[in-house]
Chain A
Amino acid sequence: MTRAKRKRLIYNLVTFGLVIAAFIILQNMIATKSISRSLKGQLVPICAWIVMAVSLNLVIGFSGELSLGHAGFMSVGAYTGAVISGWLLNGMNMEDPTLRLVLAILCGGVVAGIVGALIGIPVLRLRGDYLAIVTLAFGEIIRSLVNVLYVGTADGRLYFSFLKNRLPDNVTILVDGAKGAVKVKPVSTFTVGFILVLITLVIVLNLVHSRAGRAIQATRDNRIAAESMGVSVTRYKMMAFVTAAVLAGMAGALYGLNASTVIPTQFTFNQSINVLVFVVLGGLGNVLGSVISATFLTILPEVLREFADYRMLVYAVVLILVMIFTNNPLIRSIANRAFAPVKALFRGKKAAAKENKGGDAQ
C-alpha cells in the first residue's frame, strides 16, 4: 500500500468513525434521557446540514465551481418530500411513516437532480463565474415559484396549480402558496438522518477517489490540461453538480419532513451562504471538515440563545476567530507538535488498519 493510499484510508476511517461514534453516543443519551430538549430537536437538522455541506463541498472543493443556490435544491427536495409524503398518506393511505420518509427522500433527490441537470446543461459549458450567477438567480426563482404554488390531493391524484381557486373543491391542500407546505406529518427520524449522512459520505468519498472523481479534480486544477488529456470537462462538472443537487434534495426532504410546515422563506439566499460558510470553514475539499463545521455551526446559534439580541454578533466573532486560528501557521505548528504523540499512536495502529482494509477489499 502506498503512502498516499494509507493516508486516505486513515482519513476515511476517522471520518466514518467519528460520525458513527457520535451516533452511538447520542443514541445512548436519548435512551437514558440525558440529552437537552433543544439539542434533541437539532439532531435531524444537523444531519441535513451535514449532507448539504458535504454535497456543496463536492461542487466547490472538488470541481472548483462556485454554486450560490444550494438552498434552492434543498427547497426543491423539501417541497417534493412534503408533497410525496402527504400524497402517500392522504391519497394512498400509506401508514408506515419510515417508508413514507424514505420514499419522500428518494423522490426529493430525484426531482432536485433533474432540476440540477436542467440548470447545469447550459451553464456548465461556459467558463468563469456564470454558475455562481445562475445558481444565485435559480435560488430566488425557486423561492418565488413555491410562493405561489398550490398542490392538493384527492382520490389518490395530485393537483398542481399557481391559482388556489383552480384546485378542485374536494382536495386536501398539501402546499398552500406563501403559507408553504401545511399540515406536514413530521416523520423524519435521527436514525434515517444518520443513514443519509453515511450514504452521502460513502458517495462523496468513493466518488472523489475514483476515475470520475480524479477527472473532476483535474478539471478544477487545470481545465485546458484536463481537456488535452481527453477528459470531457463539461461531463465531469455536470457529474459533480448533479450528484450534489441530488444529495441536497435528499437533505431537503429530510429537513422538510422534520417539522409540521415547510415555508418558502426557510430556503433563502442566506441559507445558501450559510452552507457556503460551513464548506469554507471546514476547508475546500475537506469532507471531514465540512461534517465538523456543519455540526458545530448548527449547534452554535442555539447555544448562543442566552445572548439574545447579540446572538448573531457573537456568531460572527466566533466564526472569525476560528478562521484566524485554524489558518495561523504558528498555531498550526503548535497544534501539529501537540498532536505528534497521537499521530505516533496511530502509526502503531496502521498495521492493524491495513489488515482490516485488506479483508474489506476481498
Chain B
Amino acid sequence: MSEQKKHRSDTKMVPVPSHSIVPERDVDEIPVLETRHLGIEFGGLKAVDDFNLTIGKTEIAGLIGPNGAGKTTVFNLLTKVYEPTTGAVLINGRDLHGMSIVQASRLGIARTFQNIRLFDKMTVEENVRIGLHNQIRYDMFSGILRLPRYWKQEKRQHERAMELLDLFGMQDLADEVSGSLPYGAQRRLEIVRALATDPKLLLLDEPAAGMNPHETEELMENIAKIRNLFKIAILLIEHDMSLVMGVCEGICVLNFGKIIAKGTADEIQANPAVIEAYLGKKKEG
C-alpha cells in the first residue's frame, strides 16, 4: 500500500511525458533504458537537464537536436564517462549509480563514437576480439603457457569474430590494420565491435556522419538487421533526418540540454517547438 502510494507521489512529481515512445510490443517488458531527471552541470552550465527517457527492449530510438544540444553528453552519461550531478540511469531496471565505464559495459550497454575510436594499430579481427573480451575469456597464464584452454577459447573467439564480421560483409578485411580502413568501413567496424560485447542497448553516435547516400541506405538496413537479429534496443544520435525518420520508432528532440519533444517521426515533424529549434522563430509582423 505504502509502496503504491510512494509510486503515485513519484509520478506526481515526475510528469510522465504524454508521448511515451515505447512501442507496443515492449510495453509489458522492463525497459532496457530508463533515465529519471538525469542532469549534469559543468561549472554552473546545465549541459543536460531533467532528461527523462524510456526505451523498450527492442526499440530503435533516435536522439536529435541542433549542434551543442547535449546529445553526446547524454551518451557519456549513459555510459558513465560522466557521473551525473542529478538523476539516475537504469539499465534493465538496475541503477548505474557509482559504476565505472567497465561495469556499465558489463550490464549490457555498448556504444560507438562520434569521432571514431578504433584500436587503430590492431587488425580488424583483433578489434572485434576486444569486444569479445568479456564474452569468451581465459586467464593470463593459460595465454602465456598456451594451455589447452587458450587454444579452445582463441578458436571460439576467432569463429565468433568472423561470424560477426561476416554479417556486415567485412570478413575479407579481417587481417587489415583497422587504422588503414576507409572511413565507412571504420564506422561499420565500430558497430561490429560494439555488438561483440553482447549488449542489450546499443548507442550509435552519428553513425552516418561522412557517409554518402548509398552508404547511409546500407546503414539503415544494417540497423534494422541488428535489431531483428540480436533483439536489442538501439538509441542513435543522427543529423541525417532521412535516416532518423526512416528507421526510428521513437524520436526524442533535445535543445539546450532539455527535451523539447518526444514522439513518432510524424509527430516530431509537425511539432512547432521542434521546427522553432531547428529553423528559429518566425518574426512577428
Contacts and interface: CB of A to CB of B under 8 A. Distances in A.
B102 A232 contact: yes
A211 B138 contact: yes
Contacts of A353: none
Contacts of A212: 139-140, 143
Given A206-B144, A210-B140, A217 B119 contact: yes
B101 interface: yes
Nearest to A209: B143
Interface stretch (A19-27, A88-96, A218-226, A315-323): A218-226
Interface stretch (B12-20, B44-52, B104-112): B104-112
Contacts of B197: 229-230
A225 B133 contact: no
User: Which of B81, B143, B175 has its CB near the most chain A CB atoms (within 10 A)?
Assistant: B143
Contacts of A361: 151
A211 B155 CA distance: 12
Interface in B106-122: 106, 110-111, 113, 117-122
A108 interface: no
Contact of A211 (B123, B153, B174, B175): B153
A229 B111 CA distance: 8
A182 interface: no
Interface in A204-247: 206-207, 210-215, 217-218, 220-222, 224-233, 239
A226 B125 contact: no
A3 B175 contact: yes
B200 interface: no
Given A2-B175, A225-B113, A231-B130, A213 B143 contact: yes
A37 B137 CA distance: 51
A210 B129 CA distance: 10
Nearest to A222: B117
Given A218-B130, A229-B105, A230-B134, A210 B150 contact: yes
Interface bracket on B:
35 or more
Interface in B66-121: 79, 81, 100-102, 105-106, 110-111, 113, 117-121
A345 interface: no
B143 A207 contact: yes
Contacts of B153: 211
Contacts of A214: 122, 126, 129-130, 133
Contacts, number: 103
Given A210-B150, A217-B122, A229 B117 contact: no
B282 interface: no
B140 A230 contact: no
Interface in A225-275: 225-233, 239
A228 B105 CA distance: 6
Given A206-B144, A210-B140, A229-B130, A4 B123 contact: yes
Interface in A310-362: 361
A207 B142 CA distance: 10
Contact of B117 (A220, A225, A239, A285): A225
B211 to A, nearest CB: 20
The 10 closest A-B CB pairs, nearest first, are A210-B143, A221-B119, A230-B105, A225-B117, A227-B101, A4-B175, A212-B140, A230-B134, A3-B175, A218-B130
Given A211-B133, A222-B120, 19 more contacts: A2-B125, A206-B144, A207-B144, A210-B138, A210-B140, A210-B144, A210-B154, A211-B157, A212-B140, A214-B122, A214-B126, A214-B129, A214-B133, A215-B130, A217-B122, A220-B121, A224-B101, A225-B119, A232-B102
19 contacts: A2-B125, A2-B174, A210-B142, A211-B129, A211-B137, A211-B143, A211-B153, A214-B122, A215-B133, A221-B119, A224-B117, A227-B102, A228-B105, A229-B110, A229-B194, A230-B106, A230-B134, A285-B121, A361-B151
